[in-house]
Chain A
Amino acid sequence: MQQACIKAQAEVQRIEKKYSRYLDSSLLQTINKNAGIKSTTIDAETAGLLNYADLCYQQSDGNFDITSGILRRVWNFKSNSLPDEKTIQQLLPLINWYSVQWDQNTIFLPEKNMEIDFGGFGKEYAADRAAEIFQSLGIQHGLVDLGGDIRIIGDKTDKSGWDIGIRNPSQPESAISHITLHQGAMATSGNYERFMQVKHQHYCHILKANTGWPVNHWASVTILAPQCLVAGSLATLTMLAEQKGEKWIREQEIPFLAIDLKGLQLSNF
């Protein structure tokens, strides 16, 4: 078991180091430093993740865009003050996944100062990879929980399922609902993770790439899916779709629990 834990932990750290936006040595930072200058060679894993990000971009009509991380420069959720609309407008031209030139072996960000990050799904991907390592080493019961993003390795020994609490967006330390999971994954996207209140208005960290402003319809969306990566992205895409999100997620025919800003719960399970 320790052997498996060490390997799984090493895998999570590997992903973090490879795709961290804080480490100068990460592949992601190399890609970003080469923006506007030259293309960067990538491996198959990175190409796979870019392909995944590309699909999220298409599915969200451009609101999920891995080049949107640059908005962090103007959105400081600790400052309790809103960014200037003009500054946001100046950044928007740099948010343009469509303009990025990439294939299976290389990526090139066409403008200097453009950047990509995998913050939108990196943690979920790591949870999947860690769980798969446990499974490959013969672990049959257990789950991986990376800060609320959960991937089941296998059911409990007595097959009674894992009892998982879903955070209450207005009181994130307590559960608003519980669910029993036997397999698959659960991920939540919520407006309570990083936010600020300005003039009684709630501004959360999930920003729409098209406008540069936070989403403002759902307090949280929880999705169950076979993979944590998919669950997390569907939750984020629903958040981004705002009022159109309910219709969209119902069409996916996948278990969800969405809570709007008034506290109204919508669910199909």
Chain B
Amino acid sequence: MKKITALSALSAAAMAIPAQAEVAPTDKIFSYRYTSYQESDAPRERTFTPELGRYQIEVQQFGYQTPLDESWYLASELQFETMSGASPTQTYKDANGKSALTMSGASIEEQRIDIKVAPKKYFAHGTAGGLVALSKENDYESIALGLDGTLEIFDKHTTLIGSLSVSNDKLSPTDARISASRTEADGRKKRSFSVYEGINQIIDKYSSFQAGISYTQLTGYLSDPYKFEDRRPGSRDQVTFSVQHKQFSNVLDGAALHSSYRYYYDDWGIESHTLDVKWAQSFNLGKTRLIATPLVRYYTQTKANFYSLEQNPADDLLNSSDYRLSSYGAITIGFNSELKFKQWALHLDWQQYTSREIMALFGRDSDETPALVNFSTFTAGIDYKF
């Protein structure tokens, strides 16, 4: 036995073990989600055409995440969507000055498939990731590429976040010959370029704050070929400022209040505000942990400059009666739940979205928007970690 030196030698050696920083996840996770999205019928008294049933979408999502080695992690996702139902084609003011909605006649039945692959590399002081996403429908193809990174500074209390993405979409409307707008759209492209810069700051042991700014530029064919009299500009510049706050508390078995606000504007004249609040409450039930999260979101936007209910606008004028470009407000209420047991997690989520012209906070418009949609979503899912 050597003498005396043991304590000091071991202490020095223990001190010399470098701490690992950003930790690459080591779990493999398989996840499945089933989501049913159901839009409410269009209002009978305000709809001109007989068809009232709107979109119904069923989504099946398979996710697989796995470490590739010590520092690389791969997330992948495969998604199938089946959509059916009718969609609004136009809203216009009739001769009596009352708004009328026309819906696409035949029920559209479509499938969509999405594939996403996102590798991520974990470094001592941050991460770097990539994203490839492909999406295909019978009338639409999209490819998106992204890069993202984080950098931890100031003893890991501050994280700088950045991301960059581009996408290239191709339109091929069904029955392209039945209307001029569909013919014109056939084979046209839509491109996007998006950049986000953000900063996340741990304030104290109970709270963190994140702020970010993003800029997106869309170019190409941005009109909706399935709508009547829909002629939009060939580019759209969008800017978003967002702030997020997370506050943890010791209520019951632990809770977290997430609140976020987002301001958006674009050069089409749309300005919007989104306020999100959710409360994630944990309950420890023996070996099971339940996280119940009620949430509420308020959204309001002003209309685009070229939004109008003109039934037959001049062909050289920009025009759209798409309800998404009108002035309105919307409230979402929801309840998410997650039940964790050993390696399993069960998810049951429900959300109800309601939108109305009169719920708009700013720039409320006298034009009615009967096409504004209400919908509910229900999601059931399961995760398995191994």
A interface residues (Cβ-Cβ under 8 A, vs B)? 1-4, 10-11, 13-14, 17-18, 25, 27, 43-45, 48-49, 51-52, 55-56, 58-61, 125, 128-129, 132, 136-139, 225-227, 229-230, 233-234, 237, 241, 244, 248, 251-254
- Chain B positions 155-181 with a Cβ under 8 Å from a chain A Cβ: 155-156
Are A3 and B205 in contact, CB atoms less than 8 angstroms apart?
Answer: yes
Partner of A252, one of B6, B155, B246, B250: B6
A248 to B6, CA, bound (A): 9
How many A-B pairs fall under 8 Å by CB?
102
CB distance from A57 to the nearest CB of B (A): 11
A220 to B13, CA, bound (A): 25
Are A25 and B6 in contact, CB atoms less than 8 angstroms apart?
Answer: no
Partner of A132, one of B7, B13, B19: B19
Chain B residue at minimum C-beta to C-beta distance from A253: B7
CB distance from A245 to the nearest CB of B (A): 9
A11-B23, A226-B11 given as contacts; is B17 within 8 A of A49 (CB)?
yes
Are B10 and A48 in contact, CB atoms less than 8 angstroms apart?
Answer: no
For the complex with contacts A2-B256, A2-B282, 8 further pairs of A-B residues with Cβ separation under 8 Å are A11-B23, A45-B18, A49-B17, A60-B1, A129-B19, A225-B11, A227-B15, A230-B14
A27 to B23, CA, bound (A): 15
Are A234 and B7 in contact, CB atoms less than 8 angstroms apart?
Answer: yes
Chain B residue at minimum C-beta to C-beta distance from A4: B205
A49 to B18, CA, bound (A): 9
Are A3 and B248 in contact, CB atoms less than 8 angstroms apart?
Answer: yes
Chain B residue at minimum C-beta to C-beta distance from A7: B23
A64 to B125, CA, bound (A): 35
B26 within 8 A of A: yes
B70 within 8 A of A: yes
Are B10 and A27 in contact, CB atoms less than 8 angstroms apart?
Answer: no
Partner of B23, one of A14, A52, A226, A254: A14
Are B17 and A45 in contact, CB atoms less than 8 angstroms apart?
Answer: yes
* Chain B 1-25: CB-based contact to A (< 8 A → 1; otherwise 0): 1111111011101111111100100
* Chain B 54-96: CB-based contact to A (< 8 A → 1; otherwise 0): 0000000000000100100000000000000000000000000
B5, B6, B155, B282: which has the most chain A beta carbons within 10 Å? B6
CB distance from B95 to the nearest CB of A (A): 62
Chain A residue at minimum C-beta to C-beta distance from B155: A136
Chain A residue at minimum C-beta to C-beta distance from B66: A25
Are A59 and B9 in contact, CB atoms less than 8 angstroms apart?
Answer: yes
CB distance from B337 to the nearest CB of A (A): 18
Are B23 and A48 in contact, CB atoms less than 8 angstroms apart?
Answer: no
A254 to B5, CA, bound (A): 12
A58 to B4, CA, bound (A): 13
Partner of B13, one of A3, A44, A52: A52
* Chain B 277-312: CB-based contact to A (< 8 A → 1; otherwise 0): 000001000000000000000000000000000000
Are B205 and A138 in contact, CB atoms less than 8 angstroms apart?
Answer: yes
Are B18 and A225 in contact, CB atoms less than 8 angstroms apart?
Answer: no
Chain B residue at minimum C-beta to C-beta distance from A10: B23
B20, B250, B254: which has the most chain A beta carbons within 10 Å? B20
* Chain B 233-256: CB-based contact to A (< 8 A → 1; otherwise 0): 000000000000010101000101
Chain B residue at minimum C-beta to C-beta distance from A58: B2
Q: Interface residues of B, CB < 8 Å — how many?
A: 35
Are B17 and A125 in contact, CB atoms less than 8 angstroms apart?
Answer: yes
Partner of B248, one of A2, A59, A128: A2
Q: List 30 A-B contacts (CB under 8 A).
A: A1-B206, A1-B248, A3-B206, A3-B208, A3-B246, A3-B248, A17-B26, A25-B26, A43-B70, A48-B13, A49-B17, A51-B13, A51-B17, A55-B9, A56-B10, A59-B6, A60-B1, A61-B1, A125-B17, A136-B156, A137-B202, A138-B205, A225-B11, A227-B14, A230-B11, A234-B10, A237-B6, A251-B3, A252-B4, A254-B7
Are B20 and A248 in contact, CB atoms less than 8 angstroms apart?
Answer: no
A3 to B204, CA, bound (A): 10
CB distance from A196 to the nearest CB of B (A): 28
CB distance from A134 to the nearest CB of B (A): 8
Q: Which residues of chain B are within 8 angstroms of A128 by Cβ–Cβ distance?
A: 14
Are B14 and A52 in contact, CB atoms less than 8 angstroms apart?
Answer: yes
A178 to B282, CA, bound (A): 34
Q: Which residues of chain A are within 8 angstroms of B14 by Cβ–Cβ distance?
A: 52, 128, 227, 229-230
CB distance from A189 to the nearest CB of B (A): 14
A59 to B13, CA, bound (A): 13
A128 to B20, CA, bound (A): 13
Are A252 and B7 in contact, CB atoms less than 8 angstroms apart?
Answer: yes
CB distance from A61 to the nearest CB of B (A): 6
Q: Which residues of chain B are within 8 angstroms of A136 by Cβ–Cβ distance?
A: 155-156
A139-B205, A230-B7 given as contacts; is B1 within 8 A of A48 (CB)?
no
Q: Which residues of chain A are within 8 angstroms of B2 by Cβ–Cβ distance?
A: 58-59, 61
A13 to B25, CA, bound (A): 10
Q: Which residues of chain B are within 8 angstroms of A11 by Cβ–Cβ distance?
A: 23
Chain B residue at minimum C-beta to C-beta distance from A140: B205
Q: Which residues of chain A are within 8 angstroms of B7 by Cβ–Cβ distance?
A: 225, 230, 234, 252-254
Q: Which residues of chain B are within 8 angstroms of A27 by Cβ–Cβ distance?
A: 70
Q: Which residues of chain B are within 8 angstroms of A13 by Cβ–Cβ distance?
A: 26
A128 to B277, CA, bound (A): 37
A129 to B18, CA, bound (A): 10
Are A227 and B26 in contact, CB atoms less than 8 angstroms apart?
Answer: no
Q: Which residues of chain B are within 8 angstroms of A233 by Cβ–Cβ distance?
A: 10
Chain B residue at minimum C-beta to C-beta distance from A3: B248
Are B1 and A248 in contact, CB atoms less than 8 angstroms apart?
Answer: yes
Are A48 and B20 in contact, CB atoms less than 8 angstroms apart?
Answer: no
Are B67 and A25 in contact, CB atoms less than 8 angstroms apart?
Answer: yes
Partner of A48, one of B16, B156, B206, B250: B16
Chain B residue at minimum C-beta to C-beta distance from A55: B13
* Chain B 191-234: CB-based contact to A (< 8 A → 1; otherwise 0): 00000000000101110100000000000000000000000000
Question: Sorted from nearest, which 10 A-B pairs have the closest CB atoms?
Answer: A48-B17, A17-B26, A252-B7, A52-B13, A2-B248, A44-B18, A59-B6, A229-B14, A2-B254, A138-B205
A225 to B23, CA, bound (A): 28
